[in-house]
Structure 1
Amino acid sequence: MGTQTPASSNRTRTNWTPAMECYFIDLLLDQVHRRNRMGHILKKKAWTDMLTVQCHFGTPYDKKALKSHYTNLWTQFNDVKSLLGQNGFSWDDTKQMVVASHHVWDAYIKVHPEAQLYRNKTLINFNDLCLIYAHTTADGRYCLSSHDIDFDDDIQGVNTGVFLYPVMDQQK
């Protein structure tokens, strides 16, 4: 998928155009919706499915190129997520980019010069990247505690595995 240009004597590198990237992200979203992902790793079936889809760009691509770009997009997502977690940074849906005042950018880039890349970079697919890469690790976000269980369900025959003990009157 894409133009192959020599990166070394025995390797080629895929040049991803914006149209190719949109197509690839659509393929990734399809695999996520099919539940062909475990955590942040796509299942073997996902890669196979994506390879068998006929690309309308005319150039064949291999699993290595897809995995490499998947990793690059994940890095980009994490970089932007990290920026958005800092004070003074926010996402502008209209501009499709991370925004902050010049003072905030200047101060941040002094400490993190690699962030300069995102100062003027539009990310038209960031919302899609959120669907693909967000919540892919166990962080406790969807776990339940005993406070989340409706104890009335136990009475109706649902076994929650929680035992209730009578509360003793502590006033004597």
Structure 2
Amino acid sequence: SAIWTTPETKKLVDFLVDQVSRAGDGGNFPTAVWNEAAALLAPMLKDGGPKTAKVCRNKYTQLRGLFKVVREIKKVSGWHWDDNTGASITADTKSSWDDYVRVHPNAKPFRNKGWPYYSQLEELVPPETSGIHI
């Protein structure tokens, strides 16, 4: 299976930001974009399986999921998000963090570790909507 390095992930994210005008509803890209991403990443392959169009699309899905986790962390009052130190949990905020992680286990890696792709993914992931659109 594919193993993603930091440079490969960055290259994919940079490419998708450049292609954002080609994204359709919901921030979904057409197959052609994924084929181009795969071709762009092919020379970078060091380990694991090739980064096919499907693998690139799956990576983007994973990144979008992480983006949504971080977006929720950023909404919590009393915490300070930092792209380098994450939720920046201190002794004073540890209790509220522990409570939060019990309900949101996917947040756990971001206790004191940031995520460098947030601002770029913000350009790719549609804003949250509430209510029903008819």
Q: Are 1:37 and 2:12 counterparts?
A: no
The verdict on how the C-alpha distance between 1:58 and 1:17 changes in structure 2, with shifts beyond 3 A counting, is closer
- 2:86 counterpart residue number: 97
Equivalent residue for 1:132, pick from 116, 120, 124: 124
Decide whether the 8 Å contact of 1:77 with 1:129 is kept in 2: yes
Correspondence list, 1:1-172, <5 A = 13-32=1-20, 35-38=21-24, 39-53=26-40, 55-58=42-45, 60-93=50-83, 95=84, 97-100=86-89, 101-135=93-127
Gaps of 5+ in 2: none
Scaled by the length of structure 1, what TM-score is found? 0.61
Q: How far 1:131 sits from its partner (Å)?
A: 1.4
The verdict on how the C-alpha distance between 1:113 and 1:46 changes in structure 2, with shifts beyond 3 A counting, is closer
Q: What is the CA deviation profile of residues 18-72 of structure 1, one whole-angstrom value per residue up to 9, with x for unaligned ones?
A: 111111111111111xx11012211223223323436441464211110110100
Where relative contact order (Cα < 8 A, 6+ residues apart) is larger, the structure is 2
| Structure having the larger proportion of residues in strand | 1
Gaps of 5+ in 1: 1-12, 141-172
RMSD after superposition: 2.4
| Structure having the larger proportion of residues in helix | 2
The verdict on how the C-alpha distance between 1:54 and 1:102 changes in structure 2, with shifts beyond 3 A counting, is closer
For 1:138 and 1:116, locate their aligned partners in 2 and report how far apart those are by CA, in whole Å: 25
For 2:27 and 2:126, locate their aligned partners in 1 and report how far apart those are by CA, in whole Å: 9
